[in-house]
Structure 1
Amino acid sequence: MNLPAMILPRVYLKNIKRSFHSSQKYYVKHRNPFVRTWETLFKDVKAGLNMDTNPVYPEHADVVIVGGGFIGASAAYWLKTRAGKGLSVIVLEKDPMYTNNHKMLSHGVLTQHFSLAENIYLSQFSAEFFRNIKEHLGDNVDLQYCPIGQLLLASDKYVEKLEQNVDAQKDYGIRSKLLTIQEIQDRYPWINASDIKLGCIGTESEGVFNATELLRGYIQKSQELGANFIKSEVIGFEMEVQRDVLMEGIEPGSFQKINRLLYKTDDDEIHSLKFAACVIAAGSEATNIAKLAKIGTSKGLLKEHLPIEKREYNIYSVENAKSEMAVGLDSPFVMDTSGLWLRRNGLQNNLVCGQIPSIKQDSGYSDTEVFQASLLNRYPHLKDSEIKVVSTEVTDCNTYDDTGIIGPHPYHSNLIFATGFGRQGVQHSPGIGRAVAELVIDCQYNGIDFTRYGFDRILINEPLIETNVY
């Protein structure tokens, strides 16, 4: 299948409202602890790319995806699902063992708590995708979805916004219930609600899942369908002048078309790859990739940089908590509007928790003493517990408005962004990947309209704020 060298301009479509509901319940499969541990370790190893000992480095591809994480692998899956052998898809990933993607304890969360319509549609689509995960990704994918729900706690500052969001979500079929302070204390006596004014808990399509297993499923299925994953690092783009192209704001005869990239493999060999469309799904590395295409380093439409930065934050384990104030197996994933979160670690006796970093921070939230003070204020019964760092997670943050960017660049119209979704990128990856496939194959959005999520909003300074991102 030969795609046109330029993706057609966006088509402004009406949002297709979809609500996915089901009374179906999900249960974690319980196995012998030793067997379960061994299988987990084995799957972690298998989650990496199935690398060929004698890799082939093609010189041409219809679509090249830079970044093989959740969104990149999802895009590869949807492209190959729709087009099959008619579309050649290459995924370039520099870390085939996905060092930063394993055991993402704060990312494997499905929630419906959003204010933007696009995010609501994405979460609803993900709920349906997860219900039918084996039909999509294969029988051996065990998502381990557990429908524990999510409890959102709002301080006085966020009460009005929480009420507005809950009212708005009803229009999309989202089922949730507002809880008073007394109801919170009665249901969850282990929570200190003295500085809380209101709570909200979802009643369906919310819970936790194994993020690593979802990624493995994407990679495995897209490779089965013919996607070619290559361990490599993108080091540049090649452009050619198109003197017959006229574009507003561009000097006549100076437009440069991007149609080839350069990447380096482990043996320090540099390869050239000609493409029709390129998808940048490189997470926190997306800004550096964009700079290779002169985005943010030139003038006119190329003046504004891609505002994506890396954020790191610690994940903590709480052990030896008091049994009389135990967080039960049916306790929800608890999230403050401050970004503090906590949940039980499945059937284990410990809790896992963390603090989502602020968009304004230039470094990760790593001050353990400050975090512990916030944690013990909300959960005072943990004061005698052992609290230790178990991992550090990395995510991409859009420092412009903290909302994802998806769609072609206004200058390089065959360069498609799919980045900046932060923690939501994992749970939203089914819908984001599908949207990328629609842009490439149909040159428009057919499902969820992401026009507002485009790079254009940065050029015209119209931020898109998600007021209930936690």
Structure 2
Amino acid sequence: MREKVVIVGGGVIGSSVAYFLRAADPTVEVTVIERDPSYARSSSALSAASIRQQFSTPLSVQMSLFGIEFLRAIGERLAVDGARPSIDLHEGGYLFLATPAGVTTLRDNHALQTRLGADIRLLEPGALMKRFPWLNVEDLAAGALGESGEGWFDGYGLVQALRKKAQALGARYVADDMTALIRDGRRVTQVTTASATVYPCDVLVNAAGAWSRRVAAMLDIELPVFARRRSIFNVSSPARLEQCPLLIDPSGVYFRPEGQTYICGTSPGADNDPDDLPLDQVDHALFDDVIWPTLAHRVPQFEALRVLHAWSGYYEYNVFDQNAIIGLHPDVENCIFANGFSGHGLQQGPATGRGVSELILHGRYMTLDLSMLGFDRVLENRPFVEKNVV
């Protein structure tokens, strides 16, 4: 009998799982339930769509190293009937800046990243000024620049390419909302949707992103993942910044080129970051009070900026340790969680899809061991903290 896998959520995580499952074993019956096939509210489509290796944990670095390998080969990997998708990958690099207070952490992270094979260069203020003459370095102690393997791409294009390839391989996508789960002891046996359709399942994958907590609650499981709104601003400026990377200021404010313009943003303070804020609203006060003054200080030419467009999307924010939760929960033996990426789900989607498919097909991880991201650490209060959350 064919094994039935039901995936709740058809964004980058769910579609990556569907793709890797069907690519590895065409006998597995894969159903992806995605309530909004337009992806209008999807984090995958609304993010700044970037990839980096500059993380503070070895596993995050390794996941994104596979991510860039996957993105570079996407035309070949995800081609359908000879049509090769493109996601406009631009390896412009990340530039993390540090003041004297943060330089030790920057150096420690750099040593870790380069040991694992990431192409990151540590630059002193003089080298930063020479490389980026438009940059104000007066209060900086160093910067870490991704020379290759880091940059930005079309996030919506990646989701669509994964979805279309998964469908071409035989995965079924259902435009519906999951409304109930039926359990028999420690197993989920059925998934019911708003259309009153029932889907039997041997394995359930929770890939519901910012709404994954609702899925977990149906299993009486407390998932520490919340929808945290993040606003992104597209701005114009007369500034022409040569060789501009995606720059992360020590304050957490970031910007990167977007054609002839720039996009920028930052996370609000912890005391002003509630859950489930409406996505049709943008935090313009955050731009006026924090982002613009920071950009004008770091790049004096940015004193003249004009907001062209702004939007908001959700981080599926893991409040426990800002790292993904991937794997089984001890109370439910056939539900796999893939949630809480806290802003780096797009770049870690390929590694997650591969790992979850291995867990389903083989009962263990075969390539990159993701067990450190398992649910046990939450239950045992063992945070696996990611410090480089942007």
Post-superposition offset of 1:262: 1.4
Matches within 5 A, 1:75-224: 75-84=17-26, 86-101=27-42, 104=45, 106-138=47-79, 139-224=83-168
Hey, what does 2:232 align to over in structure 1?
315
Counterpart AA for 1:336: D
Cα RMSD, aligned residues only: 1.9
> Which is worse superposed, 400-409 or 124-133?
124-133
Q: How far apart, in 2, do the equivalents of 1:174 and 1:358 lie?
A: 30
Partners of 2:37 and 2:75 lie apart in 1 by 24
SS in 2 for 1:414: strand
Higher mean alpha-carbon deviation, 373-382 vs 458-467, is at 373-382
Task: Specify the code of the residue in structure 2 equivalent to 1:294.
Answer: D
User: Which runs of 4 or more aligned residues in structure 1 lie more than 6 Å from their structure 2 counterparts after TM superposition?
Assistant: none
* SS of residue in 2 equivalent to 1:284: helix
Contact persistence 1:107–1:427 (CA under 8 A): no
> Corresponding residue for 2:302?
382
Change in 2 beyond 3 A, CA 1:359/1:63: farther
Any conservation in 2 of the 1:359–1:397 contact (CA below 8 Å)?
no
Shift, 1:108, TM fit? 1.8
Aligned to 1:362: 274
Q: Is the 8 A contact 1:401 1:465 kept in 2?
A: yes
Q: Deviations over 1:120-152 (max 9, x none)?
A: 111111121122212210143012111211111
Please give the alpha-carbon distance, in whole angstroms, between the structure 2 residues aligned to 1:104 and 1:382: 27
Distance 2:87 2:310 in 1: 22
The one-letter amino acid paired with 2:205 is: V
Q: Which residue of 2 aligns with 1:417?
A: 337
Paired residue for 2:256, among 334, 343, 353? 343
AA in 1 matched with 2:60? N
Which AA in structure 1 matches 2:23? T
1:348-383 deviation digits (Å, cap 9, x = unpaired): 2x2111113456622578223223222222223222
CA contact (8 A) 1:63 1:278 kept: yes
Matched residues in 1 for 2:377 and 2:359: separation? Answer: 18
The answer on whether the counterparts of 2:2 and 2:29 sit within 8 Å (CA) in structure 1 is no
Query: Aligned letter for 1:293?
Result: L
| Distance (whole Å) between structure 2 residues aligned to residue 321 and residue 79 of structure 1 | 48
User: Could you say what secondary structure the match of 2:367 adopts?
Assistant: coil
- Distance in 2 of aligned mates of 1:228 and 1:460: 37
CA–CA distance in structure 2, aligned partners of residues 127 and 234 of structure 1: 32
Whether 1:283 and 2:209 are equivalent positions in the alignment is yes
Mapped to 2, the partners of 1:414 and 1:281 lie a distance apart of: 14
Of 167, 179, 186, which residue of structure 2 is paired with 1:235? 179
Contact 2:12 2:44 in 1 (8 A): no
TM-score normalised to structure 2 length: 0.92
Distance 1:224 1:392, change over 3 A: same
What secondary structure is seen at the aligned counterpart in 1 of 2:32?
strand
Q: CA deviation at 1:469?
A: 3.4
Q: Distance in 1 between matches of 2:319 and 2:90?
A: 32
* One-letter amino acid of the structure 2 residue matched with residue 174 of structure 1: A
State which structure, 1 or 2, has the greater radius of gyration over its C-alpha atoms. Answer: 1
Quick check: 1:127–1:205 contact (8 Å CA) kept in 2? Answer: yes
Which residue of the partner structure matches residue 258 of structure 1?
188
Please tell me whether the aligned partners of residues 35 and 177 of structure 2 are also in contact (alpha carbons under 8 angstroms). yes
Residue matched to 1:247: none
Q: 1:389 deviation in Å?
A: 4.2
Following the alignment from structure 2 to structure 1, what is the Cα–Cα distance between the partners of residues 303 and 114?
39
8 Å CA contact 1:102–1:212 kept in 2: the answer is no
C-alpha spacing 1:102/1:411, structure 2 compared with 1 (3 Å): closer
**1:359–1:133: structure 2 CA closer, same or farther, 3 Å change rule?**
farther
1:156-214 deviation line (CA, Å, top 9, x unaligned): 33211110111122221222111111222222232222332210101221121111111
**1:392 offset after TM fit, Å?**
1.5
Matches of 2:190 and 2:46, distance apart in 1: 37
Asked if structure 2 preserves the Cα contact closer than 8 Å seen for 1:262 and 1:273, the reply is yes
- 1:281-339 Cα offsets, whole Å, 9 max, x none, are 000100011101111xxxxxxxxx101111112211221324xxx213x3211112432
Q: Which moved more, 1:446-455 or 1:364-373?
A: 364-373
Q: Can you list the C-alpha shifts for 1:396-432, whole angstroms capped at 9, x where unaligned? A: 1001111001001111020100011132100111110
Contact (CA 8 Å) 1:154, 1:198: kept in 2 or not?
yes
2:315 to 375, 395, 398: 395
Normalised by the length of structure 1, the TM-score is 0.77
Q: Secondary structure at the match of 1:413?
A: strand
- 2:35·2:175 contact (CA, 8 Å) conserved in 1? yes
**Helix, strand or coil for the counterpart of 2:173?**
strand
Task: Return closer, same or farther for 1:103/1:308 CA change in 2, 3 Å cut-off.
Answer: closer
Tell me the SS of whatever aligns to 2:48: coil
Name the structure 2 match of 1:460. Answer: 380
- What residue is the counterpart of 2:219 in the other structure? 293
Out of 384, 400, 408, the residue aligned to residue 328 of structure 2 is 408
CA distance in 2, matches of 1:214, 1:185: 35
Equivalent residue, structure 2, for 1:271: 197
CA distance in 2, matches of 1:359, 1:448: 33
2:241 corresponds in structure 1 to 327
Equivalences, count: 378
CA offset at residue 271 of structure 1?
Answer: 1.8
